[in-house]
Structure 1
Amino acid sequence: MEQPSYELNTLFAQLGLPSDDKAIDDFIMAHPLAPEIKLVEADFWSDQQKDLLQEWLLADGEEALLVDELNVRLHDGK
């Protein structure tokens, strides 16, 4: 049985955010994170979104890699 393939679009959809590539890029450009702010502590997430991000990080699979990618992109601002 083939495992599901996840993309950043999937994560954004699960977060209840627009999930097309342009919307993701726009979100990242609009929400840069300072180096000292952890992704799951950013003030622009709802409690449910924070919970989902934490859950995906703890999954330690492809989901965690996506959260890591989002973390890097938000801290780089691109």
Structure 2
Amino acid sequence: MEHPDHPFSELFEQLGLASEPEAIKRFIDRNSPIPEGVELPDAACWNEGQSEFLREAIEADADWAEVVDHLDASLRKP
């Protein structure tokens, strides 16, 4: 089964966050790097619903998994 591609901005919309390129950049700049050993859904920048969505996307290898991996990598860069 093929997974649909979701743009990075669509993930931010799904999380209830501003999805314009500058807003995404500000969010990443403000919240990175996530401390080593902290899983993406457990980062302090998420509310409970956002954390649950991210956890489900990763665990289910859902169609969001690839873009969630991109977000994880983006938030780990110093």
> What TM-score do the two structures reach when normalised by structure 1?
0.84
Matched with 1:8 is 8
TM-fit CA distance, 1:24: 0.6
Matched with 2:29 is 29
Give secondary structure in 1 for the equivalent of 2:64.
helix
RMSD: 1.8
Question: What is the CA–CA distance in structure 2 between the aligned matches of 1:58 and 1:6, rounded to whole Å?
Answer: 17
Runs of 4 or more, structure 1, over 3 Å off, are none
Give secondary structure in 2 for the equivalent of 1:71.
helix
Give the total of aligned pairs.
Answer: 76
Determine if the alignment matches structure 1 residue 64 to structure 2 residue 65: yes
> What TM-score do the two structures reach when normalised by structure 2?
0.84
Structure 1: tracts of 5 or more residues without a match = none
Structure 2: tracts of 5 or more residues without a match = none
Using the TM superposition, name which of 50-59 and 66-75 deviates more: 50-59
Using the TM superposition, name which of 32-41 and 52-61 deviates more: 52-61
Determine if the alignment matches structure 1 residue 39 to structure 2 residue 72: no
Question: What percentage of aligned pairs have identical amino acids?
Answer: 33
